[in-house]
């Protein structure tokens, strides 16, 4: 009897699950779904949240104008937590809902998904990812962001212009962090600048000895390449603890973290780095709409602008070629979109072309462009 009761309970749960699935499928027959893989929790949650709000703003506008080809556009938001394993898992689970994906942040998540896209006949429009490995990782990945080598070059140019002879690098062991460190080392090769480099694993909370080593090496400047705001916090806190205050060169994770800058203002004052800045007359109008809808400024202006443009580009692609992944990919190949983040076109490697980083500096707790 007890066994039968268990069978009945399990049976009811299964039947309810099937009914729910069928009900939801019917309900969504008038919609076109797109899956958005964003870091909604974890060290880059604020970037994910900015992307999510911007995407939703675009989608609400599109739906208010009648949707796409008579159907409402619906975004299914999933949290990849900046974890490649998690990203691949939720990508696979989401294939039943849509084969058109967009994502934000963490190069490793895109690199985890890219090899599966062809077999699954799906397409991914990735934003806020900078690893060079993403270029040509799959003909079905389009990267709406700038490649990290350009960010490393900005740091390298700054080091050369300041006439520094010995610099340090501390990077997180992720595709993005390693890529930045390697990019800078390659840029400085044969330049006469001595480089002392060290790294730390993702999730490490004790990097004092790496920092002690860099301090002992008497580096004139330190290039910091973390993957998340959480690891940035660890580095900056332990630098303060060790009284290690060299000239700082930082990446766009730190430049895009106002809370972090406020907390470590003294240490970060004068820190410079490459920042991807949107250049468009339409940008301010978008930022005003964002503030009006959410009651606060977008925390990561360029990430917001790019996510907003990407949603519109996907809608345009579906309008033109239907909601097939291949149709979206074909559309992106020749797209020339004038959006709030500027003009978007993709090069042969499916990377956004014609954009770069600009040198920025933290002054008085604010990030300013260096003229």
Binding region for another protein (CB under 8 A): 41-43, 45, 81, 173, 198-201, 203-210, 212-213, 215-216, 229-230, 233-234, 237-238, 240-243, 263-264, 266-267
SS3 (DSSP) at 143: strand
Q: 70 — alpha (psi -120 to 50), left (phi > 0) or beta?
A: left
Q: How far is the CB of 233 from another protein (least distance, A)?
A: 7
Which residue's CB is nearer to another protein, number 211 or number 303? 211
> Is residue 196 classed exposed, middle or buried when 0-12, 13-18 and 19+ CB atoms within 10 A define those classes?
middle
Backbone angles phi, psi at 70, to 5 degrees: 80, 0
Which residue's CB is nearer to another protein, number 185 or number 237? 237
Which residue's CB is nearer to another protein, number 59 or number 362? 362
Q: How far is the CB of 213 from another protein (least distance, A)?
A: 6
Which residue's CB is nearer to another protein, number 62 or number 180? 180
Q: Residue 134 carries which DSSP code?
A: G
Task: Say which residue the tokens 């040509």 belong to.
Answer: 136
Which residue's CB is nearer to another protein, number 84 or number 339? 84
Q: How far is the CB of 328 from another protein (least distance, A)?
A: 31
Contact assessment for residue 67 and residue 315, using Cβ atoms and an 8 Å cutoff: no
Please choose, from the candidates 341, 337, 355, 353, the residue with its C-alpha nearest in 3D space to the C-alpha of residue 281: 341
Which residue's CB is nearer to another protein, number 42 or number 67? 42
Q: How far is the CB of 353 from another protein (least distance, A)?
A: 34
Contact assessment for residue 246 and residue 270, using Cβ atoms and an 8 Å cutoff: no
Q: How far is the CB of 205 from another protein (least distance, A)?
A: 4
Contact assessment for residue 246 and residue 224, using Cβ atoms and an 8 Å cutoff: no
Q: How far is the CB of 329 from another protein (least distance, A)?
A: 33
Contact assessment for residue 220 and residue 194, using Cβ atoms and an 8 Å cutoff: no
Q: How far is the CB of 243 from another protein (least distance, A)?
A: 6
Task: Say which residue the tokens 């840029």 belong to.
Answer: 187
Which residue's CB is nearer to another protein, number 45 or number 314? 45
Contacts of 180 (CB under 8 A, 6+ apart): 130, 148, 151, 152, 171, 223, 225, 251
């Amino acid at each position: 009897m007890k066994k039968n009761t268990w069978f009945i309970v399990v049976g009811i749960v299964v039947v309810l699950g099937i009914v729910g699935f069928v009900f939801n499928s019917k309900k969504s027959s008038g919609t076109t779904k797109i899956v958005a893989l964003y870091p909604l929790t974890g060290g880059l949650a604020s970037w994910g949240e900015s992307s999510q709000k911007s995407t939703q703003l675009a989608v609400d506008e599109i739906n208010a104008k009648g949707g796409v080809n008579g159907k409402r556009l619906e975004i299914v938001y999933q949290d990849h937590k900046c974890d490649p394993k998690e990203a691949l898992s939720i990508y696979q689970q989401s294939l039943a809902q849509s084969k058109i994906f967009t994502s934000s942040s963490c190069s490793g998540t895109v690199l985890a998904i890219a090899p599966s896209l062809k077999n699954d006949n799906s397409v991914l429009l990735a934003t806020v990812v900078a690893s060079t490995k993403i270029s040509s990782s799959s003909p079905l990945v389009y990267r709406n962001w700038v490649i990290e080598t350009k960010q490393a070059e900005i740091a390298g140019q700054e080091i050369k212009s300041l006439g520094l002879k010995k610099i340090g690098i501390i990077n997180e062991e992720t595709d993005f962090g390693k890529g930045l460190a390697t990019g800078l080392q390659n840029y400085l090769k044969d330049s006469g600048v001595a480089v002392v480099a060290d790294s730390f694993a993702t999730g490490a909370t004790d990097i004092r000895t790496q920092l002690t080593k860099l301090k002992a090496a008497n580096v004139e400047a330190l290039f910091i390449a973390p993957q998340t705001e959480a690891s940035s916090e660890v580095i900056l806190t332990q630098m303060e603890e060790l009284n290690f205050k060299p000239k700082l060169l930082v990446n766009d994770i730190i430049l895009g973290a106002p809370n972090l800058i406020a907390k470590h203002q003294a240490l970060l004052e004068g820190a410079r780095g490459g920042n991807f800045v949107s250049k468009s007359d339409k940008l301010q109008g978008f930022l005003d709409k964002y503030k009006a809808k959410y009651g606060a400024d977008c925390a990561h202006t360029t990430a917001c602008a790019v996510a907003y443009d990407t949603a519109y580009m996907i809608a345009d692609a579906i309008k033109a070629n239907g909601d097939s992944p291949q149709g979206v990919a074909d559309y992106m190949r020749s797209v020339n979109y004038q959006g709030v983040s500027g003009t978007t076109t993709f090069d042969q490697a499916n990377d956004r072309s014609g954009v770069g980083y600009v040198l920025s500096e933290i002054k008085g707790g604010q990030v300013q462009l260096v003229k």
